[in-house]
Amino acid sequence: MRTIEAIGDLQECLKHYRNQGKTIALVPTMGSLHEAHLQLVDKAKTFADVVIASIFVNPTQFAPREDFDEYPRNPENDQKLLEGRGVDILFLPNIAEIYPANQISDYDVGSIGALLCGVSRPIFFNGVAQVVARFFDIVEPDVAVFGEKDFQQLKIIKQLVERQKRKIEIISLGIVREGDGLAMSTRNKYLSDSERSVAPSFSKILRQAKSNYENGLAQEDIISRAKKSLGDLFELDYFEILDANTLTQITTSSTDVIIVSAVKLGVTRIIDNIVFRRLNV
């Protein structure tokens, strides 16, 4: 695995691969890697000849009182994990490399960014779109791979590619979970031992909501029960049952459903979702 910090060096390396007719996959990360990140790499390898993983903690998606400075960083271990998984290039830029003084972005993700996580994190998705667009400009990948845990983010990235008419295939990977059902996340490292024992209840409550939905319980009752259960254990941000294709209210023409929620446990924000096909559609 080759580690590259400068954009010019990376692009020169990519030019060499492209001259050989090889396809490029990008796996963007913020580091402090876990198994879910590594499975993104595994998936990328099935879609392209060369896999680039990036590690960059993006400041533009953090609000002033959020955890940018405290966000877990472990670059040496990350490099070992990526090399062990067969990554070809690790792109490890600094902030000045990604956001030089003359670099501006006026991209607005629009109304989808004001829903769900966007209510409590109003700058988050514009910051995500800014950095993803920047990485797409630098790498010009054929394929980019993202996880489905951040489902709203995934939809926004797909929308960005469509709006900007980029020739990039966006591949998604289903949520990777711990043995007790907790969705893998870098921020899980913030959980104390007692909080970690409570955290799996989050996914259990979402699974119960799915069961209730498929058994025909009225949606208002499902939401009421889930919010009560979540509120007993967590600080609830939101809980919604929506059309998975539009992130709007379910209609008679909706084919796929998402049950999506965000909570806080102590200082740790946790998100999760379940996407499933509607019965009898």
Q: What is the pLDDT of residues 166-215, one digit of tens each?
A: 999 999 999 999 999 999 999 999 999 999 999 999 999 999 999 999 99
**Secondary structure element (H or E) that encloses residue 120, with its range:** helix 117-120
Q: What is the percentage of the chain residues whose pLDDT exceeds 90?
A: 95
Same-domain check for residues 41 and 132: yes
Cα dihedral 209, 215, 220, 224, rounded to 10, equals -40
37 and 101 both lie in a single domain: yes
- Residue 219 sits in the same domain as residue 162: no
CATH code of the domain in which 130 resides: 3.40.50.620
pLDDT tens column, 156-176? 999 999 999 999 999 999 999
Q: How many domains does the chain have?
A: 2
**168 shares a domain with 87:** yes
Does 141 lie in the same domain as 95? yes
**Average pLDDT score over the chain:** 96
Residue 64 CB neighbour total at 10 angstroms? 6
52 shares its domain with 75? yes
278 in a structural domain = no
Angle ∠(217,150,158) on CA atoms, nearest 5:
105
**The model's pTM:** 0.95
Residue 102 pLDDT level (bands cut at 50, 70, 90): confident
- CATH number, domain with residue 240: 3.30.1300.10
Residue 277 lies in a domain: no
> 173, 196, 227: which is the final residue of a domain?
173
User: CB under 8 Å to 72, separation ≥6 — which residues?
Assistant: 31, 32, 186, 187, 189
Q: Indicate whether 124 belongs to any domain.
A: yes
Residue 143 and residue 53 in one domain:
yes
Cβ pair 70, 62 in contact under 8 A: no
Compute the average pLDDT of residues 212-238. Answer: 98
- Residue 56 domain-assigned? yes
End-of-domain residue from the set 173, 208, 228: 173
Does the pLDDT of residue 280 top 70, yes or no? no
Report the DSSP pairing between strands 89-91 and 256-265.
unpaired
Q: Is residue 91 in some structural domain?
A: yes
Short-list 181, 245, 239, CA closest to 213: 239
Is the same domain home to 116 and 92?
yes
Q: Which domain holds residue 150?
A: 2-173
Q: Which residues of 222-254 are buried (b: 16+ CB within 10 A; e: fewer)?
A: bbeebbebbeeebebbbbbbbbbeebeebeeeb
Same domain for 17 and 135, yes or no, is: yes
Q: 187 with 268: CB under 8 angstroms? A: yes
Tokens of residue 157, six digits? 């990235």
Instruction: Summarize the confidence of residues 110-136 as an average pLDDT.
Output: 95
Closest of 264, 276, 196 to residue 230, by C-alpha: 264
Is 34 among the catalytic positions?
no
Catalytic residue (choose from 37, 43, 45, 269):
37
The H or E element spanning position 50 is strand 50-55
